[in-house]
């Protein structure tokens, strides 16, 4: 493995020569993962709904792309509404036309509403399942043929510890009142999808994994939902977890639902 130094940061070339598609990359974890993939040598295709700066949002695709390029990386930005199947197909076709079929797919885009299940609107349930489950499935289906023909590929789904089953009874006050029922259900389904894809694609040399911060990271989305105003976990933990899972040997490192802290202790990166 080769190392280089950029602005005082030691960086590997784990993704050198690869194309990576990262969804939901205008801000938050998606932006951080896209930037790290670019530092690791990948050509990064980024996508989200907001291309240009908007006072209602913190960050945009254009800003993420420009920051990557300014740091010496390679990036293209394609605006898309990933809640729509036709938009997902258009996005993928444009990425292939601009930089080629991705070797790495990071499904990070999400939308989250929190409220008790007895009053949860069906329209919002459907939107969350579209973003957290059906979108990642469709983009994976679009990416698989080229990965299969190359005999290699890496799919990473960004999940959450909210997908773990709550302990009880008795149930904690958090589980009973936080309104995480649909969010947790969607992430639990994404975890199951991850394991099923890993099993089905194992003989094709395609690794399929999921990664979740062990503790909250203060992304703009988390702040909007009052989940994390300050970091309890540094974003470098999720970016390093993503890099390991997006560059490891698919014959060994696949079918993992990796929580950052125990996973990075396992790899020796964290003590």
Peptide bond into 95 cis (omega under 30): no
Q: Note whether 23 and 82 are within 8 A (CB).
A: yes
Q: What percent of the chain has pLDDT over 70?
A: 90
Residue 220 has pLDDT above 60, yes or no: no
Residue 227 has pLDDT above 70, yes or no: no
DSSP codes, 214-251: SS----HHHHHTTS-SS-SS-HHHHHHHHHHHTTS-TT
In 3D space, the residue among 47, 75, 44, 71 whose CA is nearest the CA of residue 61 turns out to be: 47
pLDDT for position 174: 85
Residue 131 has pLDDT above 70, yes or no: yes
Residue 2 has pLDDT above 60, yes or no: no
pLDDT for position 11: 57
CATH number for the domain spanning 46: value is 3.40.50.720
Q: Which domain holds residue 66?
A: 3-267
pLDDT in tens, 6-32: 443 445 689 999 999 999 999 999 999
Q: What percent of the chain has pLDDT over 90?
A: 82
Domain count, the chain: 1
Helices and strands (H and E) in the chain: how many: 10, 9
What is this structure's pTM? Answer: 0.91
pLDDT for position 208: 99
pLDDT for position 204: 98
Structure confidence at residue 196 as a pLDDT band (50, 70, 90): very high
Selected catalytic residue, list 92, 154, 180, 183: 183
Residue 217 has pLDDT above 70, yes or no: yes
Q: Residue 183 catalytic?
A: yes
Average of per-residue pLDDT across 31-50: 97
Mean pLDDT, the chain, integer:
91
The alpha helices in the chain, defined as continuous H runs, are: 28-39, 61-70, 85-99, 122-129, 135-150, 173-177, 181-201, 220-224, 235-245, 260-267
pLDDT for position 231: 52
pLDDT for position 10: 41
Structure confidence at residue 50 as a pLDDT band (50, 70, 90): confident
**Backbone torsions φ then ψ of 130, nearest 5 degrees:** -60, -45
Least confident range from 22-36, 197-211, 218-232, 255-269: namely 218-232
């Amino acid at each position: 493995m080769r190392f280089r130094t950029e602005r005082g940061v030691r960086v590997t070339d784990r993704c050198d020569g690869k194309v990576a598609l990262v969804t939901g990359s205008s801000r938050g974890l998606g932006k951080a993962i896209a930037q790290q993939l670019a530092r690791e040598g990948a050509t990064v295709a980024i996508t989200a709904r907001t291309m240009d700066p908007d006072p209602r949002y913190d960050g945009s695709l254009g800003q993420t792309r420009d920051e990557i390029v300014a740091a010496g990386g390679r990036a293209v930005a394609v605006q898309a509404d990933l809640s729509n199947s036709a938009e997902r197909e258009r996005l993928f076709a444009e990425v292939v036309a601009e930089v080629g079929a991705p070797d790495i797919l990071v499904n990070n885009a999400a939308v989250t509403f929190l409220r008790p299940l007895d009053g949860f609107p069906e329209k919002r349930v459907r939107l969350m399942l579209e973003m957290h489950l059906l979108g990642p499935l469709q983009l994976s289906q679009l990416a698989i043929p080229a990965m299969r023909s190359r005999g290699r590929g890496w799919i990473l789904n960004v999940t959450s510890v909210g997908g773990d089953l709550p302990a009880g009874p008795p149930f904690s006050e958090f589980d009973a009142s936080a309104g995480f029922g649909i969010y947790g259900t969607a992430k639990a389904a994404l975890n199951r999808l991850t394991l099923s894809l890993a099993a089905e694609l194992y003989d094709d040399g395609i690794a399929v994994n999921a990664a979740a911060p062990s503790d909250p990271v203060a992304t703009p989305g988390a702040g909007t939902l009052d989940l994390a105003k300050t970091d309890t976990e540094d974003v470098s933990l999720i970016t390093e977890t993503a890099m390991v899972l997006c560059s490891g040997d698919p014959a060994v490192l696949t079918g993992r639902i990796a929580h950052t802290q125990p996973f990075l202790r396992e790899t020796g990166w964290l003590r």
